[in-house]
Amino acid sequence: ETGVTQSPTHLIKTRGQQVTLRCSSQSGHNTVSWYQQALGQGPQFIFQYYREEENGRGNFPPRFSGLQFPNYSSELNVNALELDDSALYLCASSLVKGSGTGELFFGEGSRLTVL
């Protein structure tokens, strides 16, 4: 059984650019959630996907968007990057629709630096 894998692990972008982060969920999991973790802070919920549809969104602007594919892998896209977007982006998969009824399994994250 493979865990949650994320790519790339590190990347550097400049303001105004666009970035795509990828996540492969744990085998058998149909729900993927994305979190942003700024340095020294707790993770903040961006959005969740269940069976290819968005299932809840946090307080993030529309330039943060996502996709889930039929194999339950997922992408996080961020357009018009700002300096404050510099953070660790975490993907978490779970077996049930809502995190309240199932454990979230996190990947190791993608560290984004915006210059």
Nearer to another protein (CB atom), residue 69 or residue 106: 106
In angstroms, what is the minimal distance from the CB of 48 to another protein? 4
Nearer to another protein (CB atom), residue 80 or residue 97: 97
Q: Which residues contact 21 (CB under 8 A, 6 or more apart)?
A: 6, 7, 8, 75, 76, 77, 78, 89, 91, 110, 112
Bridge-based pairing state of the strands 19-24 and 5-7: antiparallel
Nearer to another protein (CB atom), residue 104 or residue 112: 104
* Dihedral of alpha carbons 81, 38, 74, 13, sign: positive
Residue ranges in contact with another protein by CB under 8 A? 4, 31, 33, 35, 40-45, 48, 50, 55-56, 58, 90, 92, 97-101, 103-109
In angstroms, what is the minimal distance from the CB of 25 to another protein? 13
Q: Whose structure tokens read 């018009």? A: 80
94: which 2 tokens? 């779970």
In angstroms, what is the minimal distance from the CB of 15 to another protein? 26
Nearer to another protein (CB atom), residue 16 or residue 41: 41
What is the distance, to the nearest Å, from the Cα of residue 11 to the centroid of all Cα atoms in its chain? 15
